Structure 1
Amino acid sequence: MHIEQIYTGCLAQGAYYITSNGEAAIIDPLREIQPYLDRLQRDNVTLKYIFETHFHADFVSGHLDLSKKTNAPIVYGPTANPEFETITAEDQQVFEIGNIKIKALHTPGHTLESTTYLLIDENGKDHAIFSGDTLFIGDVGRPDLAQKSATMTQEQLAATLYHSLRTKIMTLGDDVVVYPAHGAGSACGKNMSKETVSTIGEQKEKNYALRSSMTEAEFITEVLDGLTPPPAYFGMNVALNKSGYQNFENILNNGMRPLSATEFEVAAEETGALILDTRASGDFCKGYIPQAINIGIAGDFAPWVGALIADVNTPILLVTETGKEEESITRLSRVGFDNVIGHLEGGFDSWKNAGKEIDTVKRISAEAFANEISIPDHTVIDIRKEGEYTAEHIEEAYNKPLAAINDWIKDINPQQHFYMHCAGGYRSMIAASILQARGYRNFTEIEGGFNAIAKTGIPKTNFVCQSKMMK
Structure 2
Amino acid sequence: MTDENRTTDPAAFRVETIETTSLGDRSYLIHDGETAVVVDPQRDIDRITGLLDAGGLRLTLAVETHVHNDYVSGGLELARTTGATYVLASGDELEFEFRPVADGEVLEAGRMRLRVLHTPGHTHHHVSYVLQDADRRVHGVFTGGSMLYGATGRTDLVRPEDTEALTHAQYHSVRRLAAELPADTPVYPTHGFGSFCSATPTSGDASTVGAQAEVNPALTLAERDYVDTLIAGLAAYPAYYAHMSPLNRAGAAPVDLSLPEPVDPAELRRRIEAGEWVVDLRERTAFAAGHLAGSLGFELSTNFLTYLGWLYPWGAPLTLIGESVEQVTQARRELVRIGIDRLAGMAYGEIDELADGQPLRSYPVSDFAGLAAALADRPGAFTVLDARRDDERAGGGVRGSLHIPIHELTERVDEVPDGEVWVYCGSGYRASIAASILDRPGRDLVLVDDDYAHAADAGLHAAQPEPARAR
Give the TM-score, by structure 1 length. 0.88
Given the superposition, is the C-alpha separation of residues 426 and 444 from structure 1 closer, same or farther in structure 2, using an over 3 Å criterion?
A: same
Per the alignment, in what secondary structure is the counterpart of residue 311 of structure 2? helix
What is aligned with 1:444? 446
Instruction: Please tell me the residue identity of whatever aligns with 1:401.
Output: P
What is aligned with 1:344? 347
Counterparts of 1:397-436 in structure 2, within 5 Å, are 397-406=401-410, 408-414=412-418, 416-436=419-439
What is aligned with 1:285? 288
Per the alignment, in what secondary structure is the counterpart of residue 103 of structure 1? strand
- Cα deviation code 1:408-428 (max 9, x no counterpart): 4332222x4332222332211
What is aligned with 1:334? 337
Aligned mates of 1:452, 1:360 — CA distance in 2: 25
Counterparts of 1:6-21 in structure 2, within 5 Å, are 6-21=18-33
- Cα deviation code 1:193-217 (max 9, x no counterpart): 2423211111111111222x623x3
Aligned mates of 1:407, 1:373 — CA distance in 2: 28
Aligned mates of 2:305, 2:55 — CA distance in 1: 31
Matched-pair contact (CA < 8 Å) for 2:322–2:328: yes
What is aligned with 2:151? 139
Given the superposition, is the C-alpha separation of residues 440 and 127 from structure 1 closer, same or farther in structure 2, using an over 3 Å criterion?
A: same
Residue 32 in 1 paired to residue 44 in 2?
yes
Per the alignment, in what secondary structure is the counterpart of residue 153 of structure 1? helix
What is aligned with 1:219? 226
Shift of 1:64: 2.3
What is aligned with 2:140? 128
Matched-pair contact (CA < 8 Å) for 1:256–1:326: no
Per the alignment, in what secondary structure is the counterpart of residue 170 of structure 1? helix
Instruction: Please tell me the residue identity of whatever aligns with 1:52.
Output: E
Shift of 1:4: 1.5
Given the superposition, is the C-alpha separation of residues 346 and 141 from structure 1 closer, same or farther in structure 2, using an over 3 Å criterion?
A: same
Question: Aligned-pair RMSD on alpha carbons?
Answer: 2.5
Given the superposition, is the C-alpha separation of residues 43 and 321 from structure 1 closer, same or farther in structure 2, using an over 3 Å criterion?
A: same
Shift of 1:164: 2.5
Residue 234 in 1 paired to residue 234 in 2?
no
What is aligned with 1:171? 180
What is aligned with 2:319? 317
Counterparts of 1:243-258 in structure 2, within 5 Å, are 243-249=250-256, 252-253=257-258, 255-258=259-262
Matched-pair contact (CA < 8 Å) for 1:21–1:98: no
What is aligned with 2:263? 259
- Cα deviation code 1:374-421 (max 9, x no counterpart): 38535322223455555564333344332332454332222x433222
Aligned mates of 2:175, 2:373 — CA distance in 1: 57
Shift of 1:344: 0.7
- Cα deviation code 1:38-66 (max 9, x no counterpart): 11111111000101111111111111221
- Cα deviation code 1:123-153 (max 9, x no counterpart): 42122111001121111111111117xxx52
Aligned mates of 1:350, 1:12 — CA distance in 2: 36
Counterparts of 1:352-391 in structure 2, within 5 Å, are 352=355, 354-364=356-366, 366-374=368-376, 377-378=380-381, 379-386=383-390, 388-389=392-393
What is aligned with 1:469? none
Aligned mates of 1:449, 1:419 — CA distance in 2: 15
Matched-pair contact (CA < 8 Å) for 1:77–1:115: yes
Give the TM-score, by structure 2 length. 0.88
Q: 1:84 aligns with which of 81, 85, 96?
A: 96
- Identical columns (%): 28
Shift of 1:441: 0.8
Gaps of 5+ in 2: 1-12, 465-471
Aligned mates of 1:318, 1:91 — CA distance in 2: 45
Instruction: Please tell me the residue identity of whatever aligns with 1:31.
Output: R
Aligned mates of 1:454, 1:280 — CA distance in 2: 26
- Cα deviation code 1:86-129 (max 9, x no counterpart): 11112211111211101111112211121111111344212211
Q: Single out whichever of 15-24 and 181-190 deviates more from structure 2.
A: 181-190
Matched-pair contact (CA < 8 Å) for 1:57–1:238: yes
Aligned mates of 1:315, 1:448 — CA distance in 2: 32
The alignment covers a number of residue pairs equal to: 449
Per the alignment, in what secondary structure is the counterpart of residue 346 of structure 2? strand
Q: Single out whichever of 191-200 and 274-283 deviates more from structure 2.
A: 191-200
Shift of 1:291: 1.9
Per the alignment, in what secondary structure is the counterpart of residue 198 of structure 1? coil
Per the alignment, in what secondary structure is the counterpart of residue 341 of structure 2? coil
What is aligned with 2:170? 161
